[in-house]
Amino acid sequence: MKKRITILSGAGISAESGISTFRDSDGLWENHRIEDVATPEAWHRNPELVLQFYNLRRKQLLEVEPNDAHFAITELQTKFDVQVITQNVDDLHERAGNENVLHLHGELKKVRSTAYPFDVYDLDGWELLIGDTCDSGHQLRPHIVWFGEEVPNLSVAAQMVSESDAVIIVGTSLNVYPAASLYQFAKTDCPIWIIDPKANELSYPESITAINDKAGAALPRLVDSLLKGEIIL
């Protein structure tokens, strides 16, 4: 049976594709405070602003491409059973050919009913507007897990980590819970790597191997070692 490798990814894996991370820019996310665009309160206060913000994020997806880190994961699939658990809402993992992708914080290209949370749709194009409604006539909202909202895929993600033979954390500052605690579900003998150019500024147990480098360089190197059997799981 193939060994299972789980990738826990965050904004940093998409940075080299040109998508800004959250915490590398003075607490602002594309010039907005997170509280103004990514909370249920923001949605109630100013839904137009929230829609516009996510419309621009969605439009940006048309201008960016997956990078070497995303493609390295596709390579890894040739020999391993690979599961991606991402905090990202972009679709770069999928566009690179990553097969098993679980989105913890939602997906930009999907929208859902404000009345029926399980009523989820693929959005045609990039713009969602006030007045766009679900099949039962209720306003649609971005299919995004905002701050203060539950993370519906958390327990399935924890289960996946617990069944892994190796875990690679890449491009997340491990600031946002519960996603940040997922690696703790790994078996005690499961090797864990963290890839981040600022890995030495992050906090995690000493048993985790840090690679202080960008995802686009470090992940292909690590994948190469795994594929060549230089690292044995």
Among 21, 74, 77, 153, binds ligand APR (CB under 6 A): 21
Q: Which is nearer to ligand APR, 168 or 190 (CB)?
A: 168
Q: Is 138 a catalytic residue?
A: no
If we measure between CA atoms, which residue out of 17, 7, 10 comes closest to residue 68? 17
Q: Which of residues 80-119 bind ligand APR (CB under 6 A)?
A: 87, 105
If we measure between CA atoms, which residue out of 89, 145, 149, 139 comes closest to residue 113? 139
* Residue in 44, 105, 138, 143 annotated catalytic: 105
- Other Cβ atoms less than 10 A from the Cβ of 102: the count is 14
Among 159, 175, 184, 225, binds ligand APR (CB under 6 A): 175
Q: Which is nearer to ligand APR, 164 or 173 (CB)?
A: 173
Concatenated DSSP letters of 194-232? EE-TTGGGS---TTSEEE-S-HHHHHHHHHHHHHTTSS-
Q: Which is nearer to ligand APR, 70 or 105 (CB)?
A: 105
Give ∠ CA 171-176-182 in degrees, rounded to 5. 75
Amino acid making up residue 71: F
Q: Which is nearer to ligand APR, 69 or 134 (CB)?
A: 69
Q: Does 220 bind ligand APR (CB under 6 A)?
A: no
Virtual CA dihedral for 171, 175, 178, 182, nearest 10 degrees? 40
Q: Does 197 bind ligand APR (CB under 6 A)?
A: yes
Among 24, 36, 81, 149, binds ligand APR (CB under 6 A): 24
- Is the Cα torsion angle 26, 30, 36, 39 positive or negative in sign? negative
Name the closest residue to ligand APR (Cβ): 12
Among 5, 7, 10, 71, binds ligand APR (CB under 6 A): 10
> Active-site positions?
105
Residues of the shown chain interacting with ligand APR in the complex, contacts defined by CB under 6 A? 10-12, 15-16, 21-24, 34, 87, 105, 170-173, 175-176, 195-198, 214-215
